[in-house]
Amino acid sequence: MTVRTLAVVSAGLSQPSSTRMLADKLAAATVSRLEEDGIETQVQTFELRDVAQDIMNNMLTGFPSPKLDSVIEAVTGADGLIAVTPIFTTSYSGLFKSFFDVIDNRALTEMPVVIGATAGTARHSLALDYALRPMFTYLHAVVVPTSVYAASEDWGSGADTVKTLPDRIDRAAGELAALVARTDRSHLVQDPFALDASFSPTGGFQAQ
């Protein structure tokens, strides 16, 4: 059976968190879609609040702690990514942005990604398109067309009768599953200790 890995990043601060709830629902829907195609999925979920201090120290020193390094390695080595943030002051949270700031800007190249966000009202839903999507595009990730925003009212029984939250989750999960099923990022994995191709063991670095 084919096996894929899925990393889930949640930047929620409270516990329980609607941000984590949305992330979990997206992950469950994606796993279900992949199972329909005979693909087993290993899911790793990371709460950024658990490594918040590590992220700040990395920004100050330039070096990740072993704990943060293991999170970064798992996220960048996955076959797909679900990234969900609360919206603060009309954009992603500082914790969410800081985590992706300490990741090498080539490490998410060709990574299939679903972006999601939560907030108290629907007024900030456009943050997905003017803040999150451009950030992941800059990181050379492949962001699926459907993003998922959940306001407080979306969790209630009277929410959005045209396109309910479960509908949006299912659509985004289907798009992510389709990409994850056929993704192959193995050619992007590089040995950090490998010598540059221009290095000659006898004559040092060759002229370019």
* Structure confidence by residue, pLDDT tens digits, 78-124: 999 999 999 998 999 999 999 999 999 999 999 999 999 999 888 88
Q: In this model, does residue 206 exceed pLDDT 70?
A: no
Q: For residues 154 and 61, is the Cβ–Cβ distance under 8 A?
A: no
Dig out the tokens for 208 from the structure: 């370019």
Please give the residue range of the domain that contains residue 195: 2-205
Residue 55: closest CA among 40, 79, 75, 36:
75
Neighbours of 52 (CB within 10 A): 17
pLDDT at 152: 86
pLDDT at 29: 98
Share of the chain above pLDDT 90, in %: 75
Residue-wise pLDDT tens digits, 150-170: 998 887 655 444 458 999 999
Share of the chain above pLDDT 70, in %: 85
- Separation of alpha carbons 206 and 22, rounded Å: 51
- Separation of alpha carbons 177 and 183, rounded Å: 10
Dig out the tokens for 196 from the structure: 């540059």
pLDDT at 123: 85
pLDDT at 163: 59
- Separation of alpha carbons 181 and 31, rounded Å: 11
pLDDT at 128: 96
For residue 10, the domain's CATH number is: 3.40.50.360
Please tell me the total count of domains within the chain: 1
Question: In this structure, which amino acid lies at residue 146?
Answer: T
User: pTM for the complete prediction?
Assistant: 0.87
Q: For residues 146 and 93, is the Cβ–Cβ distance under 8 A?
A: no
